[in-house]
Structure 1
């Protein structure tokens, strides 16, 4: 028996509702034949909402019963919406995975050993640059989060604004193989301050905070990930100075 669903969604010359598209896609993936009713004007949309006594579109009907909008449809099928589960390590996993592949790609292009001290430094460096970019895309939002746990930024707020630039510089310097004394002291300094700050905030004060490592709107919990970022910077600095 064919499963059928009726979907009402807004599609005008100025606006196509993204949640309407998501609802249609979800229904199709669940094996439903979708009767897609497109509300082509604001007046038509308002008339529909008044008729069914709803505040938003899209609206889905299954077996003549109104299910609701996209969030309600997800619940109906027992699914959760990506990015709405409180905390998530997905952004950090993506960054570290891509950084590792970029490092290997650089090594392949230079026809040198894939696994070496240089490839490790490249992985750390690319990770630092990508993490710095995440912070720089909304510097104000990043600083608002960062100053709540970084010990130096708490006392000297301008440091929070400078931090992503220092991280990007250190990462680019490692990729460019600049002299160690140009890069290592900065990486060692920001990494050490960051590590001490995270240890105090999370493991001593037992505070539950969001990590600013991937930007101010991050859903990554402060703790292991941020500490790892800082340990990477410290380790890379030491390796550069020793070798």
Structure 2
């Protein structure tokens, strides 16, 4: 009979306390097991034990992984050891807006399917833009202060009148809700047209004229989305939605008259 191949072994030190279990310790444990390691899982169950371990090995954080008697390091170091990508927390990324627009598109298709039995309708496109406005406003409203600070880096109106940076997310959210409901079009259209036009002009100037390398405040003040084409498209979508709904509302009004 062929002897079974012995699994490689690793020793993992991680915090497991009554009121705290280190999430990175759990991730490191899962990663080691997924790589086929037999793990000697050693718990640091008190703050004193954790501090003593750090002092002994000259490290500032836990978890810490040892393979073959050699210290690999924390969770990010372990990922690097296995050749896996480690995200840069300061790197710019379009992932937040891709995730948001993907979900709002699916939501709009779902609502269209419920309402008309067909996900691919003109209403679905309208709802996609309206829901996107609402979701973007929600992200900004989580922390208006941090949003306003990032927004003031490039918005032309906010630079001249600071309160606009605080008003913007409320105006965007309100316009989105009214457009989604199809009510008070006389109010939602001018608001969306105004903030969308100012936004598009601001992004165009900052990116394509001044050539500034900035982060977009579109997903809130802590976002990592680069200011650029996506930000410009977002504002142009808002303008297009406002013009479309305004034209349709005016046409309905004329027909009713």
TM-score higher than 0.5 here?
yes
Please name the residue that 1:234 is paired with: 239
Please name the residue that 2:186 is paired with: 181
Aligned partner of 2:64 among 59, 62, 65: 59
Q: Mapping of 1:21-100 within 5 angstroms?
A: 21-82=26-87, 84=89, 86-100=91-105
* Contact 2:80-2:86 within 8 A present in 1 as well: no
Distance, in Å, in 1 between the alignment partners of 2:148 and 2:172 is 14
Q: Deviations over 1:110-163 (max 9, x none)?
A: 125432322111000000000000101011110000011000001111000010
Q: Mapping of 1:43-192 within 5 angstroms?
A: 43-82=48-87, 84=89, 86-111=91-116, 113-192=118-197
Distance, in Å, in 2 between the alignment partners of 1:166 and 1:78 is 46
- Mean CA deviation greater in 228-237 or 110-119: 110-119
Distance, in Å, in 2 between the alignment partners of 1:225 and 1:142 is 17
What is the SS of the residue equivalent to 2:9?
A: strand
Distance, in Å, in 1 between the alignment partners of 2:32 and 2:206 is 45
Q: TM-score normalised to the size of structure 1? A: 0.96
Which blocks of at least 5 consecutive residues in structure 1 are unaligned? none
Distance, in Å, in 2 between the alignment partners of 1:113 and 1:57 is 52
Please name the residue that 1:196 is paired with: 201
Q: Which has the larger radius of gyration?
A: 2
Distance, in Å, in 2 between the alignment partners of 1:197 and 1:237 is 18
Distance, in Å, in 2 between the alignment partners of 1:49 and 1:38 is 13
What is the SS of the residue equivalent to 1:6?
A: strand
Which blocks of at least 5 consecutive residues in structure 2 are unaligned? 1-5, 249-257
Displacement of 1:104:
1.1
Q: Mapping of 1:13-28 within 5 angstroms?
A: 13-28=18-33
What is the SS of the residue equivalent to 1:210?
A: coil
Displacement of 1:50:
2.1
Measured on the aligned residues, the alpha-carbon RMSD in Å equals 1.3
What is the SS of the residue equivalent to 2:21?
A: coil
Q: Deviations over 1:13-71 (max 9, x none)?
A: 12211111111111122221211101000111122122222222111001111001112
Distance, in Å, in 2 between the alignment partners of 1:17 and 1:219 is 26
Displacement of 1:83:
5.7
